[in-house]
A and B are shown apart, each in its own frame.
Chain A
Amino acid sequence: MDKNKILMKGNIALCEGAIAAGCLAYFGYPITPQNEVPAHMSKRMVELNRVFLQAESELAAVNMVFGASLTGTRAMTSSSSPGISLKQEGISYLAGCELPAVIANVQRGGPGLGNIAGSQSDYFQTTKGGGHGDYRTITLAPFSVQEMYDFTYQAFNLAEKYRNPVMILSDGVVGQMMEPVVIRQDKPQKQKHNRSWVLDGCKNRKPRLIRSLLMAEGALEEFNWKLKKKYDEIRKNEIRVETQDIEDADIILVAFGIAARVAKAAMKQARSEGIKVGYIRPITLWPFPENVIRDAARGKRKFLVAEMNLGQMVEDVRLAVEGKCPVDFLGRPGGGLINQEELLNKIRSLK
């Protein structure tokens, strides 16, 4: 038995991934289905002599992250959909001030207060902006408890490398389910990043300034072009995608997060029935693996996108496919869980 393998909930894995990455400050606010995160952090962070604070609101929590982050400290916050809406102000400022931060969204059904079931309806919010202004949030979508751990761990390095907020876009199902997780035993791998922007008092150096207000003629436009260069760099370097059996496939399933778990199982079943199904799972939702999808869009293939929403990522798939193949969609909104049989029937109907 692997002694580094521990059975845990997705939300706990998220915490442990952050702790392993050397996250020194966590600021949160309770909301279901991510309540295990602040609860677990309130114990672990205090035991480790790190900072834990239950904020008065999600707005305050993300702005506390802003404060901790501008000192060059690894900091994170977490919430679920309605709370993430509140955090958008802070995420826009983090992007505008080019500050690293990790934000986890354990999605629930919406709009409004919605319900507390797992959902994937914040895809638009996360990948198309969410807050105001021309900015991008690097988004990782875990589909297992192990990935909750690994992606949160990796998110801190990504955030620091690009001085940009990174979102873990999870959902209530991945957050609540239990699976074995391999725990890292090494010290946090901190890549050396430029820290000439950090505010920690101007001892032996010139005072520094962190701001997103750029009122001088042309200054904001110039800054936005600079951001674009960074985003292009991220697009070039950081796209992550999982593919399976796409070479001979007649039907290509595209899904992310928990829906991809169901899609993978449905694909196996379909293959056993002799239907040639392939599978593409975008792991980074932004940057989106459009090239992989574009390359796969050839011949008489059909695409089928499965999401736990009314059809959000499907728009990006259609853009990448560029009309070369038909793109069908199966979705369930409002916290409905995609069912393997349902998906299989849809696959059979496309054959």
Chain B
Amino acid sequence: MNKILSRPESLTLIQHSYCPGCGHGIIHRIIAECIDELGVREKTIGIAPVGCAVFAYDYFNFDVTEAAHGRPPAVATGIKRVLPDRVVFTYQGDGDLAAIGTNETVHAANRSENITVIFVNNAVYGMTGGQMAPTTIEKQKTATTPFGRDIKRDGYPLKVCELLAATGGAVYLERVAVNNIKNIMKTRKAIKKAFQNQIDNKGFSLVEVLSQCPVNWGMTPKESVKWMDDVFVKHFPLGVYKDI
């Protein structure tokens, strides 16, 4: 009998702490599958963020370090510069990457650090209880925008792929989503490419994954995947922003 499906070697058997309907579990599995397929598990060093995915270090079956909030691209730079033949990636949420760590993100991209960045954008701060994120959309209600995000007061949602496309160093930027099977397969392709780029020494690759957070969006998982198509994707259009 042929085994056609199994847990990727790059994932541990530990049960995830993520909420029902959350996208992190899907993204973790995609990363694990890609690392297995590329045969680089034993030379991979992952960097877990501060936020919901902080426990990623328990779920991946390869070397993982924690980093201070927003600093994974700097930590990745330090690792990759001294061990250029290892596969180094960061896993970051929108608060980590696009608020407190914007500086580290922009400069790692601009230097074209040969790393892979998996950027999970779910429009809120999950771990701390659903506060406004840099990617919260206009009028979206969160724990710190009870009347909805007011552009005049809070500014605009930050579009990371569009922003990084202007850097000289970013070589691959794509925005994908994990709200349906078709999008998940596209995400898988994008993440694999972002790792392959690093193996090929191409430089900075980032995949922005739009992900559901039903609990903090105040929706059922079913409603959240629909909101993604109906609303979120309209503000954050999917597609390739740079590929050189």
Contacts and interface: CB of A to CB of B under 8 A. Distances in A.
Interface string A55-97: 1110111011111111101010000000000000110010001
B185 to A, nearest CB: 28
B163 to A, nearest CB: 15
A209 B3 CA distance: 31
A53 B112 CA distance: 13
A67 B75 CA distance: 4
Interface residues of A, number: 39
Contact of B66 (A27, A203, A211): A211
B45 A199 contact: yes
Contact of B103 (A56, A73, A211): A56
Contact of B65 (A55, A64, A210): A210
Nearest to B78: A67
Given A60-B103, A201-B43, A73 B82 contact: yes
B66 A201 contact: no
B41 interface: yes
A20 interface: no
A25 B75 CA distance: 13
B81 A57 contact: no
B79 A68 contact: yes
A51 interface: yes
B31 to A, nearest CB: 14
B52 to A, nearest CB: 13
Contacts of B57: 209, 211
A208 B48 CA distance: 13
Interface string B83-109: 100100000000000000001101100
Contacts of A55: 74, 107
A27 B58 CA distance: 30
B82 A71 contact: yes
Contacts of A93: 67-68
A285 to B, nearest CB: 25
A207 B78 contact: no
A56 B104 contact: yes
B82 A51 contact: yes
A9 B54 CA distance: 44
A48 interface: no
A90 B71 CA distance: 9
B64 A209 contact: yes
Interface string A184-224: 00000000000000011111100111111100000000000
24 contacts: A27-B78, A56-B104, A56-B107, A59-B103, A63-B71, A66-B78, A67-B76, A67-B78, A67-B80, A70-B75, A71-B79, A89-B68, A90-B68, A199-B63, A199-B64, A201-B43, A201-B86, A202-B63, A203-B42, A207-B62, A208-B63, A209-B57, A209-B65, A211-B65
Interface of A: 24-25, 27, 51, 53, 55-57, 59-61, 63-71, 73, 75, 89-90, 93, 97, 199-204, 207-213
User: Top 7 closest A-B pairs, CB basis?
Assistant: A67-B78, A63-B74, A64-B78, A201-B43, A56-B107, A67-B75, A211-B66
